[in-house]
Amino acid sequence: MAEVLRKCKIIIWDECIMAHKHSLEALDRTLKNIKNNTMLFGGVLLLLSGDFRQTLPVIPRATYADEINTCLKESYLWRSVSKLCLTINMRVQLQNDPLGSRFSEQLLDIGNGRIQLYEDTIYSTPRKFLQHCGYQR
């Protein structure tokens, strides 16, 4: 495995948001050691992907503050990250599905806090939300 990492030029880490910050920091130390290179991640390009509106690291019996403190943004490495945002949902665009487009927009509205999820609204359950978006079973 060390030989594979030594030859590696790029690592793509999908859903990195759910990883503990110590995982990223351990990878940095490991690559520096294996490649004998003091640059960040031993000079390997690291492509992280994920959505901070999704699940943070799961820490059993932890407080909300514990979960926040373990996320990647709390790592000393985060200041070296260049953030890029994807703005077009290609799956929806390629399928040319108006219902899919509406559903995608509403999910973003929820994630961005533009739609509140309360018990007395049509969005209180996933089934009601899907029905409101036009999806039927």
> How does pLDDT run across 24-62, given as a tens digit for each residue?
999 999 999 999 999 999 999 999 998 877 777 888 888
pLDDT score for 45: 96
Tokens standing for residue 39: 């640059």
Interatomic CA distance for residues 52 and 81, integer angstroms? 14
Bridge partners (DSSP) of residue 13 are 48
Tokens standing for residue 1: 């495995």
Cβ neighbors of 129 (< 8 A, separation 6 or more) are 106, 122, 123
Enter the DSSP assignment of 54: S
Encode pLDDT of 4-30 as tens digits. Answer: 999 999 999 999 988 999 999 999 999
Q: How confident is the model at residue 63 (pLDDT cuts 50, 70, 90)?
A: confident
Encode pLDDT of 107-119 as tens digits. Answer: 888 777 787 665 5
Please report, to the nearest 10 degrees, the dihedral formed by the alpha carbons of residues 9, 57, 103, 95 taken in order.
20
Count of residues making up the chain: 137
Q: Is the pLDDT of residue 123 over 60?
A: no
Q: What is the mean pLDDT of residues 74-103?
A: 87
pTM confidence score: 0.71
pLDDT score for 118: 58
